[in-house]
Amino acid sequence: MDLLLILTYTAFCVAIFKIFKIPLTKWTVPTAVLGGIALIGTLLVLMNYNHPYTKFAREYFVSIPINPAVRGLVVEVNVKPNVPVKKGDILFKIDPTPFAAVVKEKQAALEDAKQAVPQLEAAWESSIARSTQAEANRDRTKSAYERYDEGRRKGGKNSPFSEIELDNKRQLYLAAEASYKSALADEIGYRLAFESNIDGVNTDVAVMQAELDVAVFNLEQTEVKAPVDGMVTQMALRAGVMAVPIPLRPAMTFIPDEDRYFAGAFWQNSLLRLKAGDDAEIILDSMPGVVHKGKVIKVLPAMAEGEIQFGGSLRSSNDLFTRGRALVLIELDDDTLRTSLPAGVAGQAAIYTEHFTHVSIIRKVLLRMQGWLNYLFAEAH
């Protein structure tokens, strides 16, 4: 940009000297040079501060790494590269055989658990009957023991009940008491097992249902589907590959069909001027001579050069030497670029603020001149 402005002024001075036949003297040449320095310097200061330009602009897009949720052998690849697909379309399939077998196993275990519930109820009712019988037997032996004990105490030496008979009755009573406590404990155990519920469902049934749900989920994940509308590009996945759920090694890369933004890196000295809503123009290396209009969406509130994260090492003072640039998001008015150009194209951008608007005309002219130069070569980034 600066070179274009200098060359334009030089050409203008040469034309003035030729047209008006101004002699080249020690007064005219220094006047033209000093005038150019003053004029160009003023224009550069006003343009760079109020209408900043950057040669570092690029379209950014988000990609989604497709990782299967389960591990298995790929048996079918349904998606074709660079062909748009809809949300929910199948991308590829994993062999479902082992997962279907697990589902059947869990279904059988769930049915067993459901059948066990009435069996638990029957066992509880049976234990109630046994405890009732044991209680009656205990009461009967207790009554007999108390009758013998009372007759033994009242009769004394003339009692018809001997010490051995009294001891037998006491042992029968104690045995009946122990049987009753055992039956009562069994009754409590069966009752707790039968009444063990979560949300009104037997806990064993709930556990089997949860395991079945996990198995069904894993079976469903053997069909890997598109998360949103978009496409897959540069696909190398083929049938026979072992797909594994490792985030560092996705099976394919999915590009969602969504709005994309251009990001420009601007010097920090213009941050007080830049704001959302400012007009912007972008020229692309891939479309020489064409200027695309847009708006500033946002000036990002953070710069990576100042980032600090938790870690076990100290930061070097050399990090302070990297000044960095402010990132500005620009949305183009023409959305057809998403279909006409590949995502990630690069170019240059200029922003026109509300200050010194008459100077912005020069910036627009210089930007278009730079766009015309792209017919010959693209500026290296």
Task: Give per-residue pLDDT as tens, 163-221.
Answer: 777 778 788 878 888 888 888 888 777 676 666 776 677 777 788 889 999 999 999 99
| Helix or strand holding residue 243 (H, E) | strand 242-243
Q: How far is Cα 135 from Cα 140, in angstroms, rounded to an integer?
A: 9
Tell whether pTM > 0.85: no
Predicted confidence band at 156 (pLDDT cuts at 50, 70, 90)? low
- Maximum distance among all alpha carbons in the chain? 164
Does residue 381 carry a pLDDT above 60? no
Q: Reduced to 3 states, what is the DSSP secondary structure of residue 325?
A: coil
| Average pLDDT value for residue range 85-94 | 95
Q: How far is Cα 354 from Cα 50, in angstroms, rounded to an integer?
A: 8
| Average pLDDT value for residue range 286-293 | 91
CB 352 within 8 A of CB 331: no
CATH of 64-94+222-254, one of 2.40.50.100, 3.40.47.10, 3.10.310.10, 3.50.30.50: 2.40.50.100
Q: Tell which phi-psi region holds residue 289, choosing left (phi > 0), alpha (psi between -120 and 50) or beta.
A: left
Both tokens of residue 184? 């009562």
* 151-176 core/surface letters (b: 16 or more CB in 10 A; e: else): ebeeeeeebebeeeebeebbebbeeb
Least confident stretch, 59-73, 193-207, 331-345: 193-207
Q: How far is Cα 65 from Cα 252, in angstroms, rounded to an integer?
A: 6
Q: Which pLDDT does position 30 carry in this prediction?
A: 84
Of residues 265, 283, 293, the one with CA closest to residue 379: 283
Q: What is the DSSP letter of 378?
A: P
Q: Which pLDDT does position 29 carry in this prediction?
A: 83
Q: How far is Cα 262 from Cα 61, in angstroms, rounded to an integer?
A: 9
Q: Which pLDDT does position 204 carry in this prediction?
A: 77
Contacts of 265 (CB under 8 A, 6+ apart): 54, 56, 57, 325, 326, 327, 328
Burial label for 206, CB within 10 Å (0-12, 13-18, 19+), is middle
Both tokens of residue 209? 């249902």
| Average pLDDT value for residue range 109-115 | 84
Q: Which pLDDT does position 95 carry in this prediction?
A: 96
CA 137 to chain centre: 68
Domain borders along the chain are 2-61+258-306+320-373, 64-94+222-254, 98-218
Contacts of 141 (CB under 8 A, 6+ apart): 169, 172, 173, 175, 176
Q: How far is Cα 239 from Cα 78, in angstroms, rounded to an integer?
A: 10
Phi, psi of 338 (to 5 degrees): -65, -30
**CATH code for the structural domain at 2-61+258-306+320-373:** 2.40.30.170
Contacts of 40 (CB under 8 A, 6+ apart): 5, 6, 9
| Helix or strand holding residue 105 (H, E) | helix 97-155
Percent pLDDT > 70 in the chain is 92
